[in-house]
Amino acid sequence: MKQTVGFIGLGVMGNSMAKHIIQAGYPLNVYTRTKEKADELIQLGAEWKETVSELTKDSEIIITMIGFPKDVEEVYLGKDGILQIAKPGTYVIDMTTSQPTLAKKIFEQARVKGIYALDAPVSGGDVGAKEARLAIMVGGAKEAFEQCKPLFEVMGQNIVYQGEAGAGQHTKMCNQIAIASGMIGVCEAIAYAEKSGLDATNVLKSISTGAAGSWSLSNLAPRMLADDFEPGFFVKHFIKDMGIALEESTNMSVKTPGLKLAHQLYEQLAESGEENSGTQALLKLWQSS
């Protein structure tokens, strides 16, 4: 029989990820701050848990997909957190995009208690989560990764072990840095196409499959043109990620001027009331100018 999985955090991506787990035959416990978000999973057979500690007691593998590093720290290291309650031999997997230093701290405290901790952030947005083709980048002990790989394969397609604790989060920072400057380029290209009188949808047909091609250009630019600014990934969460990347870059003396500009632009966007929009809402800065 498959191990019982506990899933904490059922947002835009977490809900789809948890759904794949239960559909793959894993017994599933779920907890999230807003119980209504768990309704579909409960109907599929998931068991609702009233608290993090209750879920932890009844789960052999625990996955977290929550908002901010402070939430991760509280859920794992708090008074009634996962590491206070989990039995030795439990696997804990944080799939939140969080701080590499926090991932290392969780790993070390888990190891003392005989708990196996992995940091495994993902990329692919709401579509990747729904279609179970996320990129999953993993840090922690290689043996723990191998044990959990079948579970990762339920949620994603591009699953890569990156190295020791924190390596998954560092890899996700590379991902976010590449996206940040790229999103500026996508917005500038659309603004240029529209200003020059071109059909921007037609322009995408030409440029999205050439050397300019990117995930953002193929998946988010069409949403921009359709005035669809619903989140696959929240502006506020992208600002959080870029803030982590900037902090880590400063610590390592890595120059990131593109990242700094993107962070400034997204903060400007959030200040205009768009923090809960999808990252493709960045185009609005060009539309309003």
CA–CA distance, 162 with 165 (Å, rounded to integer) = 9
SS3 240: helix
Torsion angles phi and psi, residue 194, rounded to 5: -70, -40
Listed in order, strand segments (DSSP E) in the chain are 5-8, 28-31, 47-48, 61-64, 91-94, 116-119, 122-123, 134-140, 156-163
**Dihedral of the alpha carbons of 15, 18, 20, 26, in degrees to the nearest 10:** -160
SS3 164: coil
Task: Please say whether the beta carbons of 181 and 153 come within 8 A.
Answer: no
> Can you read off the two tokens belonging to residue 31?
């907890």
Residues annotated as part of the active site: 172
Give the 3-state secondary structure of 53-121. Answer: HHHHHCCCEEEECCCCHHHHHHHHHCCCCHHHHCCCCCEEEECCCCCHHHHHHHHHHHHHCCCEEEECC
> Can you read off the two tokens belonging to residue 262?
């993107």
**End-to-end Cα spacing for the chain:** 59
